[in-house]
Chain A
C-alpha cells in the first residue's frame, strides 16, 4: 500500500531560524503532492501543491517545497520562521491510480519560540 512518511514528529525552532520538513512517499505512479497546515484548533489549509512543471513550488506565507522525483521526496522549507508559524504540518499525496484518495503523512508539529 502507498504511504507517506514525514521525518520529524516535533520540531522546535527560534524565530528567524530556517525550516526544512522532510517528506517521502512510496512509489505508485503519477502523483499530486501537497503540504497542508493546521493551526491549533483549526481546519487544514493548503500551503502549496505540486502537480507538474517546475519542481520548486512556492506557496503562501513564504513557504516553498522542492519535488525530487528520484528521491520520492517533497520537502517543505521556509528561510525564516515566525511565531505565527506554530502549527501542525501535513505532507499529503494523491496517487492517480487510487481514485483521488489523499494519503497523509503523520504530521510534524512545529513550535516556534518568540
Chain B
C-alpha cells in the first residue's frame, strides 16, 4: 500500500548509457514531480506534471525527458548519462499546491 513508489531503488551504469526511472502514486493526486538531490543533500525541482500536462520545467538538460502516461505515473528518461548526473532522484505527488508526498528515491551512480 505504498503511496509513492519508484523503481529501481539503485541504478549503477556507465557514462553514455540511457536509463529510465519509474514512479507511481496511488493517492489519487493530480500533480507529480521529479526532484534531484545532490551530494550535498540539496533538493531541487526538475519537472512537474499536472493531469499529464507539463507545468514546471526547470533548467534541466534536454537529455532528461519526463513522460506521464497517466495521472498516476511519471517516468524520467535520461539519455547519454554523465558523471554529474549521479544523485538521488525523488518522485513526489500532491493535490494541487497541497502537501507533497515523496517516494523512496532512486540512487543513480554513473561510472
Contact = CB atoms under 8 A, between A and B. Distances in A.
Nearest to A100: B97
Contacts of B98: 32
A81 interface: no
A34 B103 CA distance: 17
Counting contact residues on chain B (CB < 8 A from A), the size range is: 20 to 34
A44 B41 contact: no
Interface in A62-114: 88, 90, 92, 94, 96, 99-104, 106-107, 109
A107 B41 contact: yes
Interface in B41-70: 41-45, 48, 50, 55-56
B103 A43 contact: yes
Interface in A11-58: 32, 34, 36, 38, 42-46, 49
